[in-house]
Amino acid sequence: MGALDYFVVECPEPLGGEYYQRIVSTVLQDHDLVRVVAKIHVFIDPAVPIFVATGTTRKLPGLVSIRDFSDLKIEDHKVTISIANEAYLAPLLKILWDRFGQARVDQPDRLTIIMPLERDESEGLPDVVVSDPSEALYKDLIYAMQAIAPEGFKVRRQYYGNMKFYYVASENTLDEEINPLLSEKFRLMGESL
């Protein structure tokens, strides 16, 4: 596996811990999360039953606005957007259609968008956010944790924010008594919750 700053799987059954070490490693690699996860501590105790994954992420790129991947030419009655990175084209089109209507968004070729807009309508357009990398990361992390957690552990609690995440799963109801366990696992990584 790639370079994580911290990677521990804690399990009262040594053989189970070894298997989970491989499962966590494989899932993180398969979901391309090794590049963004900095630390992860997984605790699993089938006797309780409880699964706890705590971790931190590396610093993510910031929000992506229209000006970050295109050139805008704003004139009195027309805006021309020349796309430099096609990866953001689909979400950009959706935003423009929602904001101005499909009839006003002309795409003469794949990388050019022309819109008949008055100057006041185009105000702030370069700063419109098209992508937030943290949203996709959160979904990917939760999906990966669901793949790692034992089958049948359907009661879940999850969190992502401030470059930290946790995922708790069990067959039983989760109450507030889980918070000290979460704090302890973060502390083992040198972090606080």
Q: What is the pLDDT of residue 162?
A: 86
**Is there a contact between 76 and 63 (Cβ–Cβ < 8 Å)?**
no
Class of residue 79 by CB neighbours under 10 A (exposed 0-12, middle 13-18, buried 19+):
buried
Which pLDDT value is given to residue 55? 96
Residues with Cβ within 8 Å of 92's Cβ and at least 6 positions away in sequence, in order, are: 66, 70, 81, 83, 113, 130
pLDDT at 2: 55
Residues facing 114 on adjacent strands: 80, 106
pLDDT at residue 59, rounded to an integer: 87
CA distance 161 to 138: 9
What CATH number labels 64-130?
3.30.1360
CA distance 123 to 75: 11
Task: Indicate the domain borders of the chain.
Answer: 6-60+133-188, 64-130
Give dist(CA 65, CA 33) in Å, integer. 24
- The single residue listed with the structure tokens 């070894």 is 18
Nearest to residue 48, comparing CAs of 183, 147, 172, 145?
Answer: 172
pLDDT in tens, the chain (193 residues): 457 899 999 999 999 999 999 999 999 999 989 989 999 999 999 999 999 999 999 988 789 999 999 999 998 899 999 999 999 999 999 999 999 999 999 999 999 999 999 888 999 999 999 998 888 888 899 999 999 999 989 999 999 888 999 999 999 888 878 899 999 999 999 999 8
